[in-house]
Amino acid sequence: MAPALLAYTAVRAFGLLAMWLHPKSALPGVSNSTLTRLATLWDAPYYQMIAVHGYSDDLGIDGYENGVPYSSRAFFPFYPMAIRAVHAVLPITAGHAALLVAWFFSLVAAAGIFAVVAHVYRPRIALIAVVLWGALPHGAVESMAYSEPVFTAWAAWSLYALLRRNWIWAGALSCMACLTRPSGLAVAAAVGITAAVELVQFWRGRRNGADRPVVWRVLLGTALAPAGWFGYLAYVGWQRGTWRGYFDVQLAWGTHFDFGRGTLSWMSGMILHPDSKGTTLDQVVMVGIVVASVVLFLLAVEQRQPLPLLVFGGMMLVIALGDGAYFAPRARFLLPAFVLLLPVAAGLSRIRSRVSLWVLLSSAVVCSGFYGVFLVFESVYSP
pLDDT tens, 248-265? 888 877 777 777 777 777
- Would residue 11 count as lying in a domain? yes
Q: How far is CA 278 from CA 138, 270, 274, 335, 377, in A?
A: 22, 10, 7, 27, 20
- Would residue 301 count as lying in a domain? yes
Range of the domain at 354: 2-377
Residue with more model confidence, 155 or 240: 155
pLDDT at 276: 54
pLDDT at 373: 92
**Is residue 99's pLDDT more than 90?**
yes
How is residue 30 annotated by DSSP? G
Q: Which of 35-49, 96-110, 195-209, 364-378 has the lowest mean pLDDT?
A: 195-209
**Is residue 61's pLDDT more than 80?**
no
Mean per-residue pLDDT over the chain, rounded: 88
- Would residue 382 count as lying in a domain? no
Contact 195, 218 (CB under 8 A): yes
- Would residue 383 count as lying in a domain? no
**Is residue 169's pLDDT more than 90?**
yes
Mean pLDDT, residues 244-248 taken together: 85
Count the neighbouring beta carbons within 10 Å of the beta carbon of residue 42.
16
Mean pLDDT, residues 285-309 taken together: 92
Residue with more model confidence, 325 or 376: 376
pLDDT at 322: 85
- Would residue 332 count as lying in a domain? yes
**Is residue 78's pLDDT more than 90?**
yes
Mean pLDDT, residues 23-27 taken together: 60
Q: Which of 299, 265, 284, 258 is nearest to 371 (CA)?
A: 284
Calculate the CA 336 to chain-centre distance: 3
d(CA 360, CA 355): 9
- Would residue 47 count as lying in a domain? yes
pLDDT at 277: 60
pLDDT at 326: 67
**Is residue 206's pLDDT more than 70?**
no
**Is residue 48's pLDDT more than 60?**
yes
Q: Which of 32-46, 50-64, 179-193 has the lowest mean pLDDT?
A: 50-64
**Is residue 333's pLDDT more than 80?**
yes
Q: How confident is the model at residue 11 (pLDDT cuts 50, 70, 90)?
A: very high
pLDDT at 51: 93
Q: How confident is the model at residue 30 (pLDDT cuts 50, 70, 90)?
A: very low
Domain count, the chain: 1
Burial 154-174 (b: 16+ CB within 10 A, else e): bbbbbbbbbbebbbebbbbbb
pLDDT at 56: 80
**Is residue 146's pLDDT more than 90?**
yes
Mean pLDDT, residues 334-360 taken together: 93
